[in-house]
């Protein structure tokens, strides 16, 4: 089976056939950096990180472009409210997003362009649209003429132009030919940053930014454009319109991840129910939070609850427990071991992570049975399968990403625990079980769990 993807634009699952054989190009709408990220933002990063890893494992040379929108109405409003320059707001929050992506194990993008670094490309795109009769300048602004593209505008969101709401992206609608026309460029306003253009100073509109950056780094026609469901309209609809009206093929597949909700509402900063990443990784470890976000199908919505989060953490710990115990028996893992076919089939079927993780848990169950029987050959095979599957999902507990988290003190802790375990062993040998239990309880109070195994006592930090 080859990779098949649900394409929002055709509302059907299609076989992935890249523009260029052996190569895959992905553009993901990244952060608008007016505030630090909550888990709803980072879900998109995790979902598309799994896609990228699976495509690379499947043999594609992947170019992954994730942009940063560092100038926007929202950023300007925060800047005014805090009485700090707009670029301070943008830089502060971009660093918060980068930290969150890194903390949850997302691979760095191949390129991470910032909108403010691509104004020349935006000007060129506007010039092409004006020349083709699809855009016009008015009062220092530049607008896309929706009626000039009415026969195709609305195909992604499955809407008709006459039923669409006004763009509502300017203070003076009289500048527009049609209230549904959207701003490509916004003329200069007091206190706002500006860049020079043939139509006067101003700043870019949100939709224009992504079209310019996507085509600069991935070409006029590329494979996959991704983002959250909430971006389908108007953002992605407008990207398609302005790019294709200018003569570019643009994205061949559109992938959208579902929303993360609390109660019946989409998680957003405006609702005041954000769960920021630094807070979340105090509840569970980063790898467990990644598991929580990756486990549901990317197109499904997630109804957040702390109970569900802790259940996901426990599920991951069961996987981790097998890997840890098996690695004590098997020291050399075959990194080239084939993936179980059911796992590959699940991911090839529109990135079916729930089914893929079901395979992981089944292999772990078999591995635990093999461990109990002392079947080292089976343990070696099942450990290799487990770690290779987890590597695709970015969840391998023995990878540098997760072993490095908080492991700088491991040699020190190892030495201290070794002394305590020797004392405990001596107490057990002389049948002083009260002393042995006291040592174990002291270690537990320090956050260290001791487990007696056939190979001796082993320890781990309490999760």
Domain 300-403 listed as CATH 1.10.3720.10: no
58: left (phi over 0), alpha (psi -120 to 50) or beta: alpha
170: left (phi over 0), alpha (psi -120 to 50) or beta: beta
Higher-confidence position of 37 and 271: 37
Instruction: Provide the residue count of the chain.
Output: 463
Mean pLDDT of 36-57: 96
The superfamily CATH assigns to domain 4-257 is HUPs (3.40.50.620)
Mean pLDDT of 18-26: 98
Question: Please, which pLDDT band fits residue 265 given cuts at 50, 70 and 90?
Answer: low
Per the DSSP assignment, residues forming a β-bridge with 66 are 28
Q: Give the pTM.
A: 0.87
The first and second tokens of residue 295, run together, are: 């486990």
Question: Please, which pLDDT band fits residue 264 given cuts at 50, 70 and 90?
Answer: low
Distance CA 142, CA 15 (A): 38
Mean pLDDT of 153-181: 93
Of 276, 275, 237, which Cα lies nearest the Cα of 256? 237
pLDDT for res 416: 65
Query: Which tens digit of pLDDT belongs to each residue from 116-156?
Result: 999 999 999 999 999 999 999 999 999 999 999 999 999 99
pLDDT for res 407: 43
Of 208, 72, 69, which Cα lies nearest the Cα of 129? 208
Q: Is the pLDDT of residue 288 over 80?
A: yes
Of 364, 322, 317, which Cα lies nearest the Cα of 343? 364
Mean pLDDT lowest among 49-53, 86-90, 205-209, 423-427: 423-427
Domains 4-257 and 300-403 share a fold: no
Mean pLDDT of 244-271: 85
Q: Compute how many other C-beta atoms are within 10 angstroms of the C-beta atom of residue 282.
A: 8
Mean pLDDT of 3-12: 98
The first and second tokens of residue 277, run together, are: 């990443």
Of 200, 138, 195, 143, which Cα lies nearest the Cα of 168? 143
Mean pLDDT of 71-78: 95
Higher-confidence position of 103 and 444: 103
Q: Is the pLDDT of residue 107 over 80?
A: yes
CB 281 within 8 A of CB 39: no
pLDDT for res 438: 79
Mean pLDDT of 236-242: 97
Return the exposure string of 421-433: e unless at least 16 CB atoms fall within 10 Å of the residue's CB, then b. beebeebbeeeee
Mean pLDDT lowest among 13-22, 251-260, 383-392, 396-405: 396-405
pLDDT for res 405: 53
CB 319 within 8 A of CB 363: no
pLDDT for res 284: 96
Distance CA 278, CA 404 (A): 18
DSSP 74-93: HHHHHHHHHTS-HHHHHHHH
Query: Which tens digit of pLDDT belongs to each residue from 336-370?
Result: 889 999 999 999 999 999 999 999 999 999 999 99
Question: Please, which pLDDT band fits residue 245 given cuts at 50, 70 and 90?
Answer: very high
Query: Which tens digit of pLDDT belongs to each residue from 423-457?
Result: 777 778 888 888 778 777 877 777 787 777 665 66
Of 334, 320, 316, which Cα lies nearest the Cα of 382? 334
Q: What are the extents of the domains in the chain?
A: 4-257, 300-403, 410-461
What lies within 8 Å, CB to CB, of 10 at 6+ separation is: none
Query: Which tens digit of pLDDT belongs to each residue from 382-414?
Result: 999 999 999 999 999 999 989 865 444 455 556
Question: Please, which pLDDT band fits residue 461 given cuts at 50, 70 and 90?
Answer: low
pLDDT for res 410: 52
């Amino acid at each position: 089976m080859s990779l098949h993807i649900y394409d929002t634009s055709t509302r059907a699952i299609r076989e992935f056939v890249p523009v260029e054989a052996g190569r895959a190009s992905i553009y993901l709408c990244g952060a608008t950096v007016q505030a630090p990220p909550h888990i709803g933002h980072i879900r998109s990063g995790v979902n598309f990180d799994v896609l990228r890893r699976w495509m690379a494992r499947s043999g594609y040379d992947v170019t992954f472009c994730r942009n940063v929108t560092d100038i926007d109405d929202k950023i300007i409003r925060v800047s005014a409210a805090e009485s700090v320059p707009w670029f301070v707001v943008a830089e502060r929050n971009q660093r918060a997003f980068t930290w969150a992506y890194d903390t949850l194990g997302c691979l760095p993008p191949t390129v991470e362009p910032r909108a403010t670094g691509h104004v020349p490309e935006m000007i060129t795109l506007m010039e092409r649209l004006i020349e083709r009769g699809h855009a016009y300048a008015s009062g220092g602004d530049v607008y896309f003429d929706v009626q000039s593209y009415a026969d195709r505008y609305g195909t992604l969101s499955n809407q008709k132009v006459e039923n669409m709401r006004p763009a509502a992206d300017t203070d003076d609608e009289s500048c527009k030919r049609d209230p549904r026309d959207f701003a490509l460029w916004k003329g200069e306003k007091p206190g706002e940053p500006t860049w020079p253009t043939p139509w006067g100073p101003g700043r870019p509109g949100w939709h224009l930014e992504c079209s310019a950056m996507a085509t600069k780094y991935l070409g006029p026609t590329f494979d996959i454009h991704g983002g959250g469901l909430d971006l389908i309209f108007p953002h992605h609809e407008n990207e398609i319109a302005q790019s294709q009206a200018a003569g570019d093929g643009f994205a061949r597949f559109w992938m959208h991840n579902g929303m993360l909700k609390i109660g019946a509402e989409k998680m957003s900063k405006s609702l005041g129910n954000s769960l920021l990443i630094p807070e979340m990784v105090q509840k569970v470890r980063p790898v467990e939070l990644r598991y929580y976000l990756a486990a549901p199908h990317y197109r499904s919505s997630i109804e957040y609850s702390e109970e569900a989060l802790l259940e996901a953490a426990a599920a991951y710990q069961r996987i981790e427990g097998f890997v840890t115990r098996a690695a004590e028996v098997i020291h050399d893992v075959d990194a080239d071991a084939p993936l179980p076919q059911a796992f590959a089939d699940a991911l090839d079927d529109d990135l079916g992570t729930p089914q893929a993780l079901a395979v992981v848990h089944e292999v772990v169950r078999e591995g635990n049975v093999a461990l109990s029987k002392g079947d080292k050959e089976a343990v070696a095979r099942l450990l290799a399968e487990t770690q290779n599957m987890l590597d695709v999902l970015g969840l391998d507990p023995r990878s540098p990403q997760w072993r490095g988290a908080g492991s700088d003190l491991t040699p020190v802790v190892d030495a201290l625990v070794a002394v305590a375990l020797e004392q405990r062993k001596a107490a057990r040998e002389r049948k002083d079980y009260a002393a042995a239990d006291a040592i174990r309880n002291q270690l537990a109070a320090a956050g260290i769990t001791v487990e007696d195994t056939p190979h001796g006592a082993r320890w781990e930090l309490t999760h």
